[in-house]
Chains A and B, each alone.
Chain A
Amino acid sequence: MLAGRPAVEAAEQAAHMEPVKGRSLWQDARTRFFHNKAAVASMVILVLVGLFAAFGQFVTPWSNEEIDWALLGSIPEQGGPSWENRHYFGVDETGRDLYARVVQGTRISLMVGIVGALISVVVGTAWGAIAGYVGGRVDTIMMRIVDLMMSIPYMFVLILLLVVFERSIFMLFIGIGLISWLDMARIARGQTLSIKNKEFVEAAIATGVSTPRIIARHIVPNLLGVVIVYATLLVPQMIIFESFISFLGLGVQEPSTSWGALINMGADNMRNQTPWMLGFPLAFFVVTLFAFFFIGDGLRDALDPKDR
């Protein structure tokens, strides 16, 4: 009875209070994500790199194709980074402004990463969700196709494609599109298998919702967490993939460039006392990739229900 009074008071107080707000899965995830310092810092870095790619060109008087003839004969001595002649990152081996070229390379590399991730999100999720939900023979055939494509060393096939159909950024996107969704399809299928027998799907079936609609409205939204995490981790993989091809000289064509092509140029000139040619592209590459990996890790910790 002694405990009665506080309990009654508490109950009265509670009656006057606002009802407790429910927190959605996404709000929870957001809170967790913003507690992860590395992920937040990476987010800031990534925004800066994005701004650099979008607006970096407006801060320099040089274009990425213009040759600075004044420096051409003396690049190792005078071609380094300097404020006076407005070559912030120095010039490359043919006297073009490296800052403008890094801006341009950043655009291409980021675009490759994002396009690859988008293709994998759309195609991979749809493929995996359909295979997993429909099951049976359809599942076997669809996943066998994925297995088959995965067991082929795609880099060689992609280079074969690039050689046969002329090298272009469009062909590169097709090549990346062909392979980027394979892992995503497997992940989406695995996740679909684990939710397709849940009660809400049963309820949808019982109320007569059609199969395509169940997949689109009930399965796919529940895959999103996993898909987002994996897509974030896929962006750096795609950037590495493209840079590898461009490093070999088989990717983007001059005067376009990408981080891989720029790193290659820097590496070729290592012996010529021009460290800035390797340093700047390499720094952008490494920092951005780190940022993507940390954000991916942060998202995984935030969205993975296993870690609750």
Chain B
Amino acid sequence: MTAFILKRLAIAVPTILLLIVFSFLLMEAAPGSPFATERGVPPAVLANLEAKYGLDKPLIQRMGIYIYDVVVNFDFGPSFKFKDRTVNDLIAQGFPVTLTYGFWSFVVAVAVGGTLGVLAAVFHNSWLDYLAVGISIGAQVLPNFVMAPILVLIFTLWLGWLPGGGWRGGQIEYLILPVIALSTSYMASIARITRSSMLEVLNAGFIRTARAKGLPMRRVILRHALKPAMLPVISYLGPAFVGMITGSVLIDVFFSTGGIGQFFVNSALSRDYSVIMGITILIGTLTVLFNLLVDVIYAWIDPKIRY
């Protein structure tokens, strides 16, 4: 197992480094200087500014410094637009918010989607099954940017039950709509995957054996069917994570929750390169690490995987 984890790390670490180098070079290729204004900056001031931000050094040296800062000190440098704040400040401010509703969305998607999928398979061709299939087909065309306005329309503007935006330190009424908007389409996918893999497992020989020897249905499902049926779901968790973390950008913008997505889009619109880079690298690293975790869990559960 240790060897397997090490082997996976040997792939994960270069991926992260490549991402850092790639975003750095991309930023270098960007036309224009971050200090360019419409009135123009006097050459002496520009030289001073470039010296302060280290932009007067050669490319390779700057790249080395940037990577060193990011990898060793977790320091993404200063923001070019918010003069008094660093990228780390912005991340420290926004990341806990994103993490909070992201975590709950993930839990809701897996718990509700998984339960729905299992029930639909166990009660195959019942009304519950049709309901689950209906939901999962419908939710395919309801990505987060469609769900969010519809939810606000219904629960804020018509019913007036829940606030249509804001955060207030993550009180529950501010959490509900973002979590539903973010998790719906993944919940549906998880339900669909769970249902079809559970159906396949329930038709397998070892389930028939378990039932033939007189085990109660509940025990057959929980002890025998659940674990193998969860394998395809686990391999879907990686893409679901990427999708949700991408969706969080939209949630932040639409609900003004103040997470890192809001900083990301604002800096994309105002060309604040260091913030975009910092957030991209942070998200990329998280994704790679999460995929690593999923691989390890998969190998741990599935005895067929050799490592």
Asked if B271 and A163 make an inter-chain contact with CB atoms under 8 angstroms apart, the answer reads yes
In angstroms, Cα B261 to Cα A247, docked, is 14
Asked if B30 and A164 make an inter-chain contact with CB atoms under 8 angstroms apart, the answer reads yes
**Chain A residue with Cβ nearest B141:** A289
Residues of A within 8 Å of B249, CB to CB, are 155, 248
Q: How many A-B residue pairs have CB under 8 A?
A: 110
Asked if A293 and B141 make an inter-chain contact with CB atoms under 8 angstroms apart, the answer reads yes
B107 CB–A CB distance under 8 Å? no
With A156-B283, A160-B280: A248-B245 Cβ-Cβ less than 8 Å: no
With A159-B268, A282-B146: A248-B253 Cβ-Cβ less than 8 Å: yes
Residues of B within 8 Å of A290, CB to CB, are 140-141
The 8 Å CB contact of A286, one of B144, B146, B276, is: B146
Residues of A within 8 Å of B148, CB to CB, are 267
Asked if A286 and B141 make an inter-chain contact with CB atoms under 8 angstroms apart, the answer reads yes
In angstroms, Cα B268 to Cα A160, docked, is 7
In angstroms, Cα B26 to Cα A64, docked, is 35
B79 CB–A CB distance under 8 Å? no
In angstroms, Cα B153 to Cα A278, docked, is 10
For the complex, count residues of A whose C-beta is within 8 A of B.
38
Q: Interface with B: A72-80, A198-206, A258-266, which one? A: A258-266
**Chain A residue with Cβ nearest B23:** A160
Restricting to A244-292, which residues have a CB under 8 Å from any CB of B? 244, 247-250, 260, 263-264, 266-267, 270-271, 278, 282, 285-286, 289-290
B166 CB–A CB distance under 8 Å? no
Asked if B18 and A148 make an inter-chain contact with CB atoms under 8 angstroms apart, the answer reads yes
Give the shortest distance, in Å, between A169 (CB) and chain B (any CB). 17
The 8 Å CB contact of A152, one of B19, B144, B146, B276, is: B19
In angstroms, Cα B11 to Cα A144, docked, is 9
With A153-B287, A155-B246: A244-B143 Cβ-Cβ less than 8 Å: yes
- Report, nearest first, the 10 A-B pairs whose CB atoms are least far apart: A267-B149, A289-B141, A155-B246, A164-B30, A247-B145, A156-B280, A286-B141, A163-B268, A240-B143, A153-B283
14 pairs of residues in contact across A and B, judged by CB atoms under 8 Å: A153-B245, A156-B264, A159-B264, A160-B268, A244-B246, A250-B269, A260-B145, A264-B145, A267-B148, A271-B157, A285-B141, A285-B146, A290-B141, A293-B140
List 7 other contacts, CB 8 Å, given A153-B283, A155-B246: A153-B242, A161-B26, A165-B30, A240-B143, A244-B250, A249-B269, A289-B141
